[in-house]
Structure 1
Amino acid sequence: MSLESEEKKLFFDAIVIGTGPGGEGAAMGLAKAGYKVAVIEKENTVGGGCTHWGTIPSKALRHAVSRIIEFNNSSLFTENNNILTSSFTKILEHAYSVINKQTLMRQDFYTRNNCSLIFGTASFTGKNCISVISSSGNKQIYSAKNIIIATGSRPYHPEDINFSSSRIYDSDSILNLKHSPKHIVIYGAGVIGCEYASIFRGLGIKVDLINTRNKLLEFLDNEICDSLSYHLSTNGVLIRNDETYESIKQEKNKVITTLKSGKVIHSDAVLFANGRTGNTDLLNLQELGIEINSRGQLDVDAEYRTSIKHIYAVGDVIGYPSLASAAYDQGRFVALNIIKSNLQKSNLKNIPTGIYTIPEISSLGKTEQELTKEKVPYEIGKANFKNLARAQISGTDIGMLKILFHRETKEILGIHCFGNRASEIIHIGQAIMEQPGELNTIEYFTYTSFNYPTMAEAYRVAALNGLNRIEKS
């Protein structure tokens, strides 16, 4: 609804800036409790970067490509040399259909819960006041008792790279790719870079993955990192570790990437995916005394408050863990804190990490290297997917489930999964890890019946494997 001419609707219990997962979580929590909520969105549709440029489109692309790979790797379908092919542009059509469905659904959330949607660019004019300039140039001031910043992030752009070049992309603009490159350089081997390396290589495109560190995704368990590196390399991705660029420049229809090591790579396109910047530059936060770090991110306390008590921030704009699931939970926690106050501190330590490479990765809890450093007496239970009937039937037998548990108490300390449906499989272990005391042990999986054949059976196999190690020792 339009608010620009209705003076009585200018004051709210809460204003939420941004309609991504964090903003949605906060707005829905407050609205369902009867609070008068205004939601400000800079774009002309709701959903934020998660829906339009990040999570939804990239995962829709990944799904389509993984189905192509499964088809081409199955002797059932390729015995007559029937190879399935597609292009990045064509499978984008599937991604856009998902985006449209998600946008309509989320728009309906706000409508049904009587949130006042305001489209325009927001900036603070005071500690309780927000100025919004619409796309037509109209300006209006809104005020609220509580304000939640959920403006998300955008791809980081170094000043020495010309992103207006037709063949140099970031993780947002890559969705506008119209040509079909034969060779792409992906600079940055974080989560986004690794996911897109899987996608492009799955389409048969030559991929150079430039990693500024000495191994991929160092925050993961070492064995998972090594498995990902091996699988990408085996499938033809050229991983270049410990490299940084000297220059990235387009010349006609080619992009020349010069590395500081002296290597020069000629490609049809470059995807720069090395870091993100918080969307805070237009909010005028400096006038309020709220500090912003070099990557445009905000510092918050355990209740997600900024240095001004009634101004909160959630999601990518506060940095780690930069997950859609975490952002939504943060938004919901802030809503509960405003409604009830004096809540316990947010407990988001057991958030699973979902990485949608091909195959995908999901992790929860401690890694082996962390437990070793902390001198925790742990043991490993492992199930290789190649031994599971369901994986053999589906032809997706690459990967494993690894459970780390305390040798004495048998408490589950970490779960790490690499392979098909890893991001789904992880939630079974998550449910047990969240149980109190003696209910959280690896033994749970040995006396629980799992449907057969299923991928979930990996938990029973891994648990027996781990307990056998203790008995034999």
Structure 2
Amino acid sequence: MSQYTFDVLIIGSGPAGESAAMASAKAGKRVAVIEGRSLVGGNCAHKGTIPSKSLRHMVKQIIQFKTSTLFREIGETWRLTYPRVLASANAVIPKQVELHTDFYIRNRVKLYSGFARFLDAHTVAIDLLEGAREEIVTADKVIIATGSRPYQPTDIDFNHPRIYDSDSVLDMQHTPRHLIIYGAGVIGCEYASIFSGLGVKVDLINSRDRLLSFLDDEISDALSYHLRDNGVRVRHSETYTKIEANDHGVTVYLESGKRITADAVLWCNGRSGNTDKLNLEAIGLEPDHRGNLKVNSQYQTDVENIYAVGDVVGWPSLASASFDQGRALAAIILGKECAEVSEVPTGIYTLPEISSVGKTESELTEAKVPYEVGRCLFKNTARGQISSEDVGMLKLLFHVDTGQLLGVHCFGAEAAEIVHIGQAIMSQPGEANNINFFLNTTFNYPTMAEAYRLAALDGTNRINRR
């Protein structure tokens, strides 16, 4: 009988890989993690969630500073270039690395810095970053958690200094006066908010006819309005034919015949799974055209002992879901019952931010569910007025007959925090999932969470007036 070096080998130290490693190690398994960087954290800590959200936070503070009458006279905000703001935002990355490195040390997880490639289903070669040497490891179970990277079409020169993607923009060392963002998905809308908040002229090119069509229509419309109100020019139903760049600028040619010229282009149109260097041919796995791996409800690939979690399996491609998928997979490997991760709340860190969970109005209408809407505008809350966070609203969708909470949609300050109150009630069994909870519960005053009581009053009053 073969003796394997590790019980569980994980390729990637992002949210999915880390959570799978920690859960497996705490259960007594011998665990190793292979990370392609010299520091742990994956793309989440170094190129994705953490740096971009930290950058957003800095820009939000700048906007608050610029719009405050108290500081307007002393604020020399014109000195705040993009590189200076970025440098301040990146100060959080070493803190994250130190925190997560300690997790591996305390749980005795072996950490390799290098690039992994399969030799067979149980054997992986590691091209170590230090020493330019190779090491061979074997394991009973292998988890692929390599994440994703920005999709780069071959007809665009991403080596040109004026053409960026959502990774390389975090290394940009100048402040463009005019930026074209191609792709109006979550990442594109977030960066449109960030750069417009810095005073950069932004053209946001969307290949579809509305922004983030998976959102509730009212929330999508609100986002579109506020982006335009902040100076973003949103161009719907447009597709590029070519992008040309030179020393003086960059031009995007559109199928509609339009030509848009700016200082730089930020490409935010899709992502690809990081699977191309894993030598998957050696184990008979074939990713799809975007490099993603197909898995079943147990996160198992077509090879029995090899699993995949996180962005490399595609939807929902959220750090929050990746953490949960990693833990769920560890439970599955340990032989425990574990449900597939679902009902993941949406968190979109635009300015203002967006978060939602449950059904949208369009989905309920299509399903012919009798529902009512309760709204609370943040400008009508004491906390919103005190904090000058008067943009946005909380929207509750609930069943007319039973009061069951069906959807929670929030646009505005702290939306990604506020949504979890509604999520907690929606997850309750039976009659405990009811809008009356918000009517019968005392909320601290003044708080943003009080919007739940006000929205519930608004919705139930509509029914009572009938």
TM-score bin (small chain): over 0.9
Deviations along 1:160-198, whole A, 9 cap, x unmatched?
A: 000000110000000111111100000000011000000
Distance 1:344 1:105 in 2: 28
- Aligned-pair identity (%): 56
Q: Is the 8 A contact 2:408 2:419 kept in 1?
A: yes
Task: Tell me how many residue pairs correspond in the alignment.
Answer: 463
1:129 aligned partner, one-letter code: T
TM-aligned CA distance change 1:92 to 1:10, over 3 Å: farther
Instruction: Show the counterpart of 2:438.
Output: 445
Please state whether the residue corresponding to 1:109 is helix, strand or coil.
Answer: helix
Distance 1:22 1:240 in 2: 35
After TM superposition, the structure 1 = structure 2 runs for residues 216-235 of structure 1, keeping only pairs within 5 Å, are 216-235=211-230
Q: 2:448 aligns with which of 447, 451, 455?
A: 455
Please state whether the residue corresponding to 2:282 is helix, strand or coil.
Answer: helix
Q: 2:413 aligns with which of 398, 416, 420?
A: 420
Q: 1:153 aligns with which of 137, 145, 148?
A: 148
Q: 1:335 aligns with which of 327, 330, 336?
A: 330
Q: Is the 8 A contact 1:74 1:395 kept in 2?
A: no
Distance 1:25 1:157 in 2: 29
Distance 1:457 1:76 in 2: 28
Q: 2:15 aligns with which of 8, 21, 30?
A: 21
Q: Is the 8 A contact 1:10 1:141 kept in 2?
A: no
After TM superposition, the structure 1 = structure 2 runs for residues 31-180 of structure 1, keeping only pairs within 5 Å, are 31-78=25-72, 80=73, 82=75, 84-85=77-78, 86-135=80-129, 136-180=131-175
Instruction: Show the counterpart of 1:3.
Output: none
Distance 2:3 2:149 in 1: 31
Task: Report the Cα offset of residue 382 of structure 1.
Answer: 0.6
Please state whether the residue corresponding to 2:445 is helix, strand or coil.
Answer: coil
Q: Is the 8 A contact 1:42 1:120 kept in 2?
A: yes
Flag structure 2 segments of 5+ consecutive residues without an equivalent: none
Task: Report the Cα offset of residue 9 of structure 1.
Answer: 10
Q: Is the 8 A contact 1:52 1:99 kept in 2?
A: yes
Please state whether the residue corresponding to 2:330 is helix, strand or coil.
Answer: helix
Please state whether the residue corresponding to 2:241 is helix, strand or coil.
Answer: strand
C-alpha RMSD of matched pairs (Å): 1.4
Task: Report the Cα offset of residue 95 of structure 1.
Answer: 2.1
Q: Is the 8 A contact 1:445 1:463 kept in 2?
A: yes
Task: Report the Cα offset of residue 50 of structure 1.
Answer: 0.5
Task: Report the Cα offset of residue 199 of structure 1.
Answer: 0.5
Distance 1:256 1:175 in 2: 22
Task: Report the Cα offset of residue 400 of structure 1.
Answer: 0.2
2:356 aligned partner, one-letter code: S
Distance 1:440 1:88 in 2: 46
State yes or no: 1:398 paired with 2:391.
Answer: yes
Instruction: Show the counterpart of 1:4.
Output: none
Task: Report the Cα offset of residue 283 of structure 1.
Answer: 1.1
TM-aligned CA distance change 1:440 to 1:105, over 3 Å: same
Distance 2:69 2:463 in 1: 41
Please state whether the residue corresponding to 1:340 is helix, strand or coil.
Answer: coil
Distance 2:396 2:18 in 1: 34
Instruction: Show the counterpart of 1:435.
Output: 428
Q: Is the 8 A contact 1:185 1:210 kept in 2?
A: yes
Task: Report the Cα offset of residue 131 of structure 1.
Answer: 1.1
Distance 2:186 2:335 in 1: 36
Please state whether the residue corresponding to 1:164 is helix, strand or coil.
Answer: coil
2:90 aligned partner, one-letter code: Y
Instruction: Show the counterpart of 1:381.
Output: 374
Please state whether the residue corresponding to 1:125 is helix, strand or coil.
Answer: strand
Distance 1:95 1:143 in 2: 39
Q: Is the 8 A contact 2:65 2:75 kept in 1?
A: no
1:112 aligned partner, one-letter code: R
Distance 1:239 1:375 in 2: 33
Please state whether the residue corresponding to 1:16 is helix, strand or coil.
Answer: strand
Flag structure 1 segments of 5+ consecutive residues without an equivalent: 1-7
TM-score computed with the length of structure 1 as normaliser:
0.96
Distance 1:251 1:260 in 2: 21
Distance 1:21 1:344 in 2: 18
Distance 1:350 1:159 in 2: 35
Task: Report the Cα offset of residue 258 of structure 1.
Answer: 1.0
Please state whether the residue corresponding to 2:334 is helix, strand or coil.
Answer: helix
1:358 aligned partner, one-letter code: L
Q: Is the 8 A contact 1:130 1:142 kept in 2?
A: yes
Distance 1:353 1:147 in 2: 29
Q: Is the 8 A contact 1:18 1:41 kept in 2?
A: yes
Instruction: Show the counterpart of 2:205.
Output: 210
Q: Is the 8 A contact 2:331 2:338 kept in 1?
A: no
After TM superposition, the structure 1 = structure 2 runs for residues 284-363 of structure 1, keeping only pairs within 5 Å, are 284-341=279-336, 343-346=337-340, 348-363=341-356
2:107 aligned partner, one-letter code: N
